[in-house]
Chain A
């Protein structure tokens, strides 16, 4: 009986002591993070939402509430619509290219043994390089008179191409540079996915007669890579949607190369139309959230597979 009476008492001492200690330490540990979270994410977010429904401009005397007028203006503004269209075109070019070329390269590199390290370095190098500097290099490569690309075209008997001045060529040119910058990264993600495929499945496919390259791909590789492919597709979309650096160096948002982030930058930080720029940022945020929700949904499915 005595032991029974004692047991809860013994149990209670550490139980009470631990939470106090944990509570103190835990609270203390998260104070800096919480304050920063409030200061540089939550408060700005709130500000942004408020600004987006005003006509605030730096130096303006008074602020008026506009309701959704900024958004209406954006949707009817030809410049913003062009920026939106160009951004989506850019994504539409980079997304399939980035996924499929990345996959192709990964498949080919995966089969190599001795040369694998070389190819990994070669394809990944553009990911590591500072994009601004390399954009300047591309600018030179594509220069109508001095660049080797046009030099090659001319040598092959084609007309000179104004990659960085002809408006209809701008987005495809930017997309090509974007792909150049991105493929190595996607390749690495696909290589990781390929390594995780159990060898047994390929053996089974071979026994079942599905040992040819196309059969192996359709029966094992492609279905097994499905989660990786989804993941790569979403990250590629997000990266593509945020295209900015190459625009800033190569075209400075010139006719034909207006993109979403550059438009936000110009409106907010060059023309100081803060309210309008905030509204554009909210639209940008909506896209980011949509991508993220899509990704979370996909990851969730992968877990429950």
Chain B
């Protein structure tokens, strides 16, 4: 009835089809690597070597490839390293940044302006800049090849301080004053009143931090020589260097295993994840 009165204009239909056509081609380009990774990971080596375009594997070799990947390189070890490094970094980042951000947002003390200026300045300095001196210092003290070496440059996140300061500033002063009147100390106010209200920002930052450090290659490549400390990307780099055609199936199986955790987290918590990563841009 509606359609009879006002038929969908041909122009709109055309635009609809056009948009989907362009988007689907683009989406295919975006997803093709994932698809081919999965398909190759379950293919037999001889089929890979013929280099066919056949998407469906003729024989399934998933078990062989994945178990070979696990044997050739300590993939689980890399993952565990990744978890240790990411959680270590995140915990210390939060412990350092939250009180500092609160002080910058709500407390008056000498040097506040200077510290905040330093934080802003620190925002434009990527890890590659202080890498060299920190490396020299770590080498001097014999601390290379350790979890500590991988974590230490990231203990301070000026970005976290900046972000949390912005969040805390919006917190109403009246509530803080009421809490002070009630006899709460500043530390208690921070921990019991301010932090719970900032949980969304903390969650977003946590995702941001985890993704950044799970994926970071530059710094581990510098301070880690021994495979048993390698985080996933560095492990992948070691792994990828055994570059023979026959092991491509195994390599893809390894890539699948290394890519899986973050992709799964992304698919499960899309909103938060996007929010967290988008902060990379704001940084």
Contacts and interface: CB of A to CB of B under 8 A. Distances in A.
Contacts, number: 278
Nearest to A127: B277
B31 A125 contact: yes
Interface in B6-45: 15, 19-20, 22-23, 26-27, 29-34, 36-37, 40
Contacts of B32: 141
Interface stretch (A27-35, A73-81, A166-174): A27-35
Contacts of A163: none
Contacts of A124: 266, 274
A126 B109 contact: no
Interface centre among B34, B129, B248, B263 (most CB of A within 10 A): B129
Contact of A29 (B99, B125, B240): B99
B48 A129 contact: no
Interface string B172-210: 000000000000011100100000000000000000000
Nearest to A238: B126
Contact of A22 (B20, B40, B107, B267): B107
A274 interface: yes
Interface in B129-164: 129-137, 139, 152-153, 155-156, 158, 161
B177 to A, nearest CB: 10
Contacts of A155: 53
B76 interface: no
B95 to A, nearest CB: 8
B128 A261 contact: yes
Contacts of A248: 217, 221, 237
Of the four ranges (under 10, 10 to 19, 20 to 34, 35 or more), the interface on chain B belongs to 35 or more
Contacts of A265: 218, 221-222
Given A137-B36, A189-B278, A146 B245 contact: yes
A109 B53 contact: no
A132 B237 contact: yes
Given A26-B112, A213-B15, A125 B30 contact: yes
A91 interface: no
A25 interface: yes
B132 A268 contact: yes
A40 B281 contact: no
A122 interface: yes
B110 A23 contact: yes
Contacts of B274: 124, 188
Interface in A1-51: 19, 21-23, 25-30, 32-34, 36-37, 40-45, 47-48, 51
- The 3 A-B pairs with the shortest beta carbon distances in the complex, nearest first, are A26-B109, A44-B130, A292-B124
13 contacts: A27-B109, A29-B190, A30-B104, A44-B129, A45-B130, A111-B19, A128-B273, A130-B233, A131-B215, A140-B248, A146-B48, A147-B51, A268-B132
